[in-house]
Amino acid sequence: MRSALSEKVAVVTGAARGIGRGIALALAEADCHVVVSDLAGDPASASYELSGQAQLDATTAEVNGRGAGRAVAIPCDVTRSDQVEALIGKTLAEFGRIDLLVNNAGIVHMTPIEEIDEARWDQVYAVNVKGVFLASKAAVPALCESQGAIVNISSVAGKRGHAAGSVYCSSKFAVIGFTQSLALELAGRGVRVNAVCPGILDTAMWSQHITSEARGGEAAYQGAVQALIPMGREQTPEDIADAVIYLATAPNVTGIALNVAGGMEVW
Ligand code: NAP
């Protein structure tokens, strides 16, 4: 049976690992062509370890094997307009169209405000906010042509602040404001723009930063899941991918920020 995404073309940023990898795999299983994009470069400037080209290549090979569509790896730092424009240009050269942009790339930084230096603040905003703007702007002409959709990965941290979360939470609030505004702007041109707000997933963000070994490790992670998620269990990349596929294919839904968080926030 053909899926609604058969032969469509999706670009997923930050797709080498974690949630982005899960989204790319699920789109491929729906027979979508997938551009697996990731930084694949200098990981030195983040507050925790990022992956590189080898991880991007491994994920792309995995995505390629999943469905009837093709997958290609296109490295891109979403903070760089030249690289983002090249990502969209190469996608159009390879596949001739873009139906879905998933702005997933993101970084976290959770510390008290006295410990956030200006460079770190700028870096979080560059990836989490400016990256969403740059990729959306570059993809809009192609999305208008295909009557496609954008799905931005925000967070429940984009709906409620947390102590030590001033930079990360505010950047994710910005993603929801951007989503609502662009949804209204593009509604008349047939392009839908939505967000997904994940709760807690066991990716590098938690294991290498929020609950790194120095911050309590696995016990602290499980404690956070139990304390913060009413349903008492973490989310998975598959849970988030299901929401992305719903928003990619729901013809009358735009401007929403859909929680996938086990009741962690209820609006
Ligand atoms: P992750 O495993 O660290 O994945 C983030 C991805 O973004 C990585 O592949 C990373 O590249 C990529 N990236 C970082 N900077 C980039 C840049 N400048 N340009 C392009 N790609 C870049 O974390 P994750 O949990 O899957 O996060 C994915 C998204 O979900 C983020 O937007 C995050 O804020 C959001 N989120 C996560 C959670 C959670 O609990 N994990 C909850 C709510 C929302 P490398 O492969 O090079 O490392």
User: Is 213 domain-assigned?
Assistant: no
User: Is 189 domain-assigned?
Assistant: yes
CATH code, domain with 50: 3.40.50.720
Averaged pLDDT, 183-201: 98
Question: Residue with the nearest Cα to atom 19 of ligand 1?
Answer: 77
Averaged pLDDT, 217-244: 98
Overall pTM surpassing 0.95 (yes/no): yes
Question: Residue with the nearest Cα to atom 2 of ligand 1?
Answer: 18
User: Is 181 domain-assigned?
Assistant: yes
**Predicted local confidence at residue 1, as pLDDT:** 66
**CA 17 to ligand 1 center in whole angstroms:** 8
**CA–CA gap between residue 111 and residue 122 (Å, rounded):** 15
User: Any long-range contacts for 162-167 (C-beta under 8 Å, 24+ apart)?
Assistant: 162/110, 163/112, 164/110, 164/111, 164/112, 165/110, 166/113, 166/116, 167/109, 167/116, 167/120, 167/121, 167/124, 167/125
Q: What is the SS3 assignment for 267?
A: coil
**Predicted local confidence at residue 2, as pLDDT:** 74
**CA 210 to ligand 1 center in whole angstroms:** 13
For ligand 1, residues with CB inside 6 Å are 13-14, 16-20, 38-39, 43, 50-51, 55, 77-79, 104-107, 127, 153, 155, 198, 200-201, 203-206
Nearest to 92 by CA among 67, 74, 65: 74
Q: How many domains does the chain have?
A: 1
Pocket test for ligand 1, best of 49, 205, 233 (most atoms within 8 A of CB): 205
User: Is 99 domain-assigned?
Assistant: yes
User: Is 145 domain-assigned?
Assistant: yes
User: Is 231 domain-assigned?
Assistant: no
DSSP annotation of 127 reads I
User: Is 232 domain-assigned?
Assistant: no
**Predicted local confidence at residue 186, as pLDDT:** 99
pLDDT tens column, 117-153? 999 999 999 999 999 999 999 999 999 999 999 999 9
User: Is 190 domain-assigned?
Assistant: yes
> Which structural domain range is residue 90 located in?
2-199+237-255
pLDDT tens column, 34-66? 999 999 876 555 667 778 899 999 999 999 999
Closest ligand 1 atom to Cα of 237: 26
